[in-house]
Structures are given as structure tokens and as C-alpha cells.
Structure 1
Amino acid sequence: MTLVSSKLTEEHVFTSGIEGPACDRDGNLYAVNYAKQGTIGKITPDGSGELWLELPEGSIGNGIRFNREGDMFIADYTGHNILRVHMESKAVSVFAHEPRMNQPNDICIHGDGTIFASDPNWGNGTGNLWRIDPSGEVTLMEQDMGTTNGVEIGPQEDVLYVNESAQRRIWVYDLSENKEISNKRLLIAFDDYSLDGMRCDMDGNLYVTRHGKGVVAKLSPQGELLQEIRLEGTDCTNLCFGGPDGKQCYVTVADRGGVQTFAIDRPGRCWGMWNE
């Protein structure tokens, strides 16, 4: 099956800092930096958008995830925070603050609310991996990796994936019930371009944005490249799954300042968390 992307939004309704993205239970899509930096945009399933939230002064978002209760969590890379947003009141609070972070970049979330955050140092070509417990306690899991970026948990919540953008590698760890990582191994290494956000479907296939190449790579749980989905534009930054059956993929594309979409054959893990 050849997958083809189409535009969900018009181009340049977001800044070149467009990232996120994440869907709520109703299928609305949220992404950062709508119209200007430091905002959250809301896109309805028909593609219409609005400036939904302005973050506190000095905060700029990157990755977004929802927990099972429906709260939004945002990696605030300028404030060294993980922010929590109450969806009804739009009240923003600091869920976790860690000044030792270079920046929280992308995040993923376990079913029990535990968050893992990537933490790149772009200038040095290094990065860290952090865990944020449901209490907000922050723990350094690994340091002095490559430029950590995309991070995701497998659908059985027994593995954790972390990629390194500049080094073009994806690592996989065993993830224990108490959220410890072990048995680090290389899933795949690419020869060109770079890596950004990634998400799993319910079968454990990993969809990875190939920043600079303008494709989403679909990988098997064993690291086999199954296919590439071509996008309009080159600088795809992240993706998520939604739609009525969880089989719609939404991709943020920075050089086009908008969201593109394509259909897949299995629901995404993030959609599955809403419906288990």
C-alpha cells in the first residue's frame, strides 16, 4: 500500500516552530506555535484552526501528550518545565521543573502517567533522557547520549524508544513495571538526514519523522524499514494518531508551517490509550 499525505491545514498558519502534535478524545488536534511562538493551536477534524492557548510569558512548547484523564502535558523547552493544562479551564501549571535540563524537547507518556522526556544539547551534539513520575519527581535516566529527540513507549508498555537526531540512531530499551530501563540496543541507524518525533501504532510499528528528507519512515518492531510516506515539504518535526478509529496520522511540517495527514492500517498507540 502506497500512502500519500494531504494538507489538513493551510500552510504557514503555524510558525516554523510547529511541533506537538497530539489529539484529544474528540479528535481535535493540538500543536505548538500557532500564528506566533508561545501558543497552542487547536485544529478540528475538518482542518479549521484557532489560537487555543497562550502559554505563560517565557514559555515555548515543543512536544505535547495527553494522559488517560485528559490532561495535556507540554514540554516547555525555554522554561525547563513540563507544563500541565486543565482542558476545561485552560489553567496552566508547572507539573515538573528541572534546571539541569538543557531543554525538555519531546515527551511520551505511560498509561499510569509517567512521562519520559528527551533533552538534547544541540550545540554539543549530546543529550539526556529523563523520567518524570506522576508525583512530578524528576529522575535522570541516561546522560551523554547523542542529540536525544523523539521518544515513545511501545503499545505493551514494555519497551522505550529514544532517537538521536544528529547521529541518526534509534535505541530501544526494555521498560520494567517500575519504569526502569535496561538492555539498551540499537534498533536502526540511518545514513542521511536526521530524526525527529516518533509514535507507535498498536502493533508496535514505529513511525518516525525524517527531518530534512520530508518522509515518515514506518519501522517494524524489529527495526526493518517497511515503507516511507512522502510529505509536501522537507522539515517534518513530529506526528500523532487520531481520527474516529485512530488510523489517521497527523504530521507537523515546519517549512510549510502546517499539518499534513494520511491514513494508516492500524490504530495509533496514543489513540489506543483513550479507548482501552
Structure 2
Amino acid sequence: MKFGIGLLALCLSASCATITPLESMAPLELSDVGFHHSEAARYDPVSDRYFVSNLGARGTENDGFISIVDPTGTVNDLRWIAGGVDGVELYEPLGMYVKGDVLYVADITAVRMFDRVSGTSIGAIQIEGATRPNDLAVDNEGTIFLTDSGGDETPGALYRISPSGEVTYFVQRSDDLVRPNGVAITTDGQVVHGGLLGDELIYRDRATASIISKRRLPTGRIDGIVALADGSLLVASQNGHNVYHVPSNSEKTPVIVADGIDVPAAIGFDTKRGRVLIPQIRKSSVTVVEVVKNE
């Protein structure tokens, strides 16, 4: 596995830390710990812990679950939130997003909200007509942007969910969306997404959905996208078996920061330690790669 090259002057927070790249570091492999088709990994900066979503058995069973992992790699609570337990519904949870005191989770039927501290269910928004809700991002006003990856015979789409819970299309179903998967909101408020059948990042106006720009990556089948505080992105490419750092300056070349990953899914980023969190569905594992360090 290759990792940790070329992330110069990366801002880890609004205050913009000074960092240098790591030339070598043994990645932390979280495997054989009870994960079951681990799809997404997210960092909770307030509680300083990781959330890992697990699809469970593939299909319509209510057996998805979310784990809590300590930054040392210890699984503190394997089934912190579990479908079928205490009335919780969780059908193949895919994307997750932490905003304020809410953990937002997209499963194949709905966007579900849980208390970030206790894990208590605090509501759900059904996505009528959706084929496969996948990833989501939430802006500062509480608007949710959700990808629907579609299927072999159904084009994908992007939804916008208002703070009051009204569901509308952000982008209508279209083959041009190449089965959208990862989505993020950049520091300047643009919605950026990529698709499972494409190699381009699409940047859109958050209000109008009009395309502002496009950015082609060296390899495609784009999965998770993380927006960093300096305007750059971390992007998982399933075809490349890697994670790219994509500078905000379009004239600068994307750099591989983690390589040799079987199938990277919905990645996360530990802003405190400069770590990329890389879940792998088939391996039911999470690879943690430290790509920057604070000076």
C-alpha cells in the first residue's frame, strides 16, 4: 500500500493548520472486528470518535447497524445503532453525515436521523420513488443533498431535502449523472458529486443546480467525497483502488494519498490527526491512513 504523499499546506480546520506530508506510515487495518459490509466511515470531531455504517446482510432485512470506533482502532460499541433493536429501522445504511448534534444516515428507503451522542432515533424522511439512496451532505442551513444511484435500468438522480423535510429533485433522473454516488458541499457552498460509471467530479450551484465546472480524475467509479476546509477534496476511486487529494486549483494535478485499496467506499477524514478513513464493503473492514501531520 502507498500513502501520504504531496498534501502540502492543507487546512484541517477553519484556522488552517500548518502541516507536512508523511512519507511513510503503517496504515491501521480494522478487520475481523465484527463489521458486516462496512460502507461508510465518518469522524465525529466533538466526541473524537469514528462512526462506521454496516449494510448487514444484503437485501431488505432490517439488520443494518452503525459502530463506534475509538481513534486507537478499538471498537467501543459494535452495534451502537442497530436495525431491529428497540424499534430502530435501518436497511442497508450507506452514506452518513455528522452535522451539529445529528447523525444523518441514508439507507435504501429513507434518510434517518439519530442523536449524535446517544444514538437515539429522532426521525426519518421517506424518499418516495427512490431506487437506491446512497450518500448525503448537509449544508449550514440544514438542507440535505442526497444521491440516488439508480440501477441497471433506472437512471440516478440527486434530491434536495429542505430543513422542514420537503423532498424535491435537485437534479432530475438522467443517464448523464452516471449513477451518482459520493456528494459533498465545498467551502464556497458548491455541491460536488461523482458517479459509479464516470471519472468526473461535477460542481453545481447549490441554489440552482446549474453546473459550474467539471474535473476529470485519472481513474473513475467515484465513491466517497470529503470536502476539506481549504477547498480541496478527498475522493475515493473504485477503479483506481485509491483515494485522491484533489486541489481546489484546477491547474494542479490530483495526488494519490492512499493506494492498493480493494474497493474504497464512503470515506471520512479525521481532522484532528490528518487521517483518511477508508471503509471496504467486501472485506468488511476499515483502513485508516495518516496522510498529514500537524507541526
TM interval, short-chain normalised: 0.7 to 0.9
- The equivalent position to 2:82 in structure 1, one of 37, 54, 73, is 54
List gaps (5 residues or longer) in structure 2. Answer: 6-21, 58-62
Quick check: 1:98 aligned with 2:123? no
Distance in 1 (alpha carbons) for counterparts of 2:281 and 2:210: 34
Distance 1:136 1:5, change over 3 A: farther
- The corresponding residue for 1:186 is 214
SS in 1 for 2:215: strand
**For each residue in 1:7-26, what CA deviation from the matched residue of structure 2 results, as whole angstroms up to 9, or x when unmatched?**
242346322x3122212212
Query: Residues 102-141 of structure 1: matches in 2 within 5 Å?
Result: 102-124=131-153, 126-141=155-170
Which 10-residue stretch deviates more, 6-15 or 98-107?
Answer: 6-15
Local SS of the residue matching 2:267: strand
Q: Report the equivalent of 1:263.
A: 290
Q: Note if contact 2:38-2:53 (Cα within 8 Å) is conserved in structure 1.
A: yes
Higher relative contact order (CA 8 A, sep 6+): 2
Aligned length: 257
Task: Determine which structure has more spread, i.e. the larger CA radius of gyration.
Answer: 2
Query: 1:195 aligned to 2:222?
Result: yes
Q: Can you list the C-alpha shifts for 1:20-63, whole angstroms capped at 9, x where unaligned?
A: 22122122111111876511111111111122110235622100
Matched, 1:147 2:185: no
Report the Cα offset of residue 181 of structure 1: 2.4
Other-structure match for 2:243: 216
Of stretches 224-233 and 212-221 in structure 1, the one that deviates more from structure 2 is 224-233
Contact 1:14 1:34 in 2 (8 A): no
Question: Conserved in 2, the CA contact under 8 Å of 1:35 and 1:51?
Answer: no
123-132 or 142-151: bigger deviation: 123-132
Shift of residue 189 of structure 1?
A: 4.7
8 Å CA contact 2:244–2:258 kept in 1: the answer is no
Which ranges of structure 1 fall in alignment gaps of 5 or more residues?
Answer: 268-276
Identity within the alignment, %: 19
Equivalents in 2 of 1:227, 1:58: separation in Å? 36
Residues 76-87 of structure 1: pairs in structure 2 closer than 5 A: 76-77=107-108, 79=109, 81-87=110-116
Q: Which position in structure 1 is the counterpart of 2:60?
A: none
TM-score, structure 2 as length reference: 0.78
Do the aligned partners of 2:265 and 2:279 also contact (CA within 8 Å) in 1? yes
Contact residue 105 and residue 120 of structure 1 kept, 8 A: yes
TM-score by length of 1: 0.83
1:174 aligns with 2:222: no
How far off is 1:155 after superposition?
1.6
